[in-house]
Amino acid sequence: MNLRQLDLFVAVAETGSFSRGAEIICLTQSTVSQHIAALEDEVDTRLFDRTQQGALLTPGGEVFLRHARRILAERDQLYQGMANFNGLSEGDLLIGASNIPANHLIPEILPRLAQTYPGVSLNMQSGDSQTVLQSLLSAEVELAVVGGRSDNKKLEFLPLGSDVLVLIVGRKHPWYGKGMISLNDLTQQPMVVREKSSGSEQALLRELQRINFDTGQLQIAARLGSNEGVRQVVLSGFGCAFVSELSVRHELEAGDLWQVSVGGMRVERKFWLASLRGRSLSPAAIALSRLLQEAYPAAKN
């Protein structure tokens, strides 16, 4: 049994004639008769009485007609749903984003996405970069925007722009108000850092390695799972931390936090748009990718 046979059956049932049903479907009457006979054999039920008045539905044919119409209606809804999907009039998009992109990059894009494609519903998972990339590898999300990339050959990365990590302290910290400290000073105060799998921590470690600084000299007081947690600890006056400049812009302007320069250091990292290599993206994912590339010109290169 196939959908084409159901179309034939409904055409004959609604016209009450094998010949008129054949005309609607653009087949010969003999071909339609063969398909109806095949259906009757498959369900082991006579569906039509062939009379001088035409093809009349049997009681079994009436039952078959109700179900056939329901199946064909579902088929039509399926086609309409796919048309809407391809036309971006509706659709769900699952993405992953590490902390800073989730709190700063994606929210800036969301109004444009909603305005351009109002039928697309964005669902976002957040976490550190490695956790988000693992969700991408396991196909839990379709795209990922992260602050750190991996060497996994199954993933493709497109640069979206740069972010600077700044050293911050709170009002009660002895460095508050200072313009610059030395690398040796950096070892004298407790430091709060992100977990090792975060893009921020990876960028900090790369810069320290670049300047041949022994990370064992740092007084790591705590490793926290979110940028917000790090920010709150430093706001309380405890320790110092390297965080995304994007995440503390308001606190720096208000004077609640202070940015301290470290001689010889500049911690910079990129944001990346990640996808599974070889995976066909949905129209909604392609649309978001285009919006991100338009908003962050680094992607165009």
What b-and-e string marks burial along 225-243, b requiring 16 or more CB atoms within 10 Å of the CB?
Answer: ebbebbbebbbeebbbbbb
Average pLDDT on 141-145 reads 94
Checking if the pLDDT of 163 tops 90, the result is no
CB atoms within 10 A of CB 296: 21
Note whether 3-86 and 162-269 share their fold: no
Compute the distance between CA of residue 131 and CA of residue 227 in angstroms, rounded to an integer: 15
Average pLDDT on 39-60 reads 91
Sequence ranges of the domains in the chain: 3-86, 92-160+274-300, 162-269
CATH number listed for the domain at residues 162-269: 3.40.190.290
> Residue 226 to residues 41, 114, 229, 252: CA-CA distances in angstroms?
65, 28, 5, 19
Q: What is the pTM of this model?
A: 0.68
Residues 90, 84: contact at Cβ < 8 Å?
yes
| 153, HSE (Cβ side, Cα atoms, 13 Å) | 0
Average pLDDT on 53-74 reads 92
Which pLDDT score, from 0 to 100, does residue 85 have? Answer: 74
What b-and-e string marks burial along 139-173, b requiring 16 or more CB atoms within 10 Å of the CB?
Answer: eebbbbbbbbbbeeeebebbbbeebebbbbbbeeb
Checking if the pLDDT of 283 tops 70, the result is yes
Q: Which CATH architecture group holds 3-86? A: Orthogonal Bundle (1.10)
Domain 92-160+274-300 in this protein, CATH class: alpha beta
Q: How far apart are the first and last CA of the chain?
A: 53
Place of tokens 């400290």: 181
Compute the distance between CA of residue 131 and CA of residue 137 in angstroms, rounded to an integer: 10
pLDDT tens for 194-219 read: 888 888 888 899 999 999 999 889 99
Mean pLDDT of the chain: 89
Which pLDDT score, from 0 to 100, does residue 299 have? Answer: 44
Residues of the chain with pLDDT > 70, as a percent, come to 96
Average pLDDT on 232-260 reads 93
Helices 29-43, 18-25: crossing angle, 10 deg rounding: 100
Which pLDDT score, from 0 to 100, does residue 199 have? Answer: 85
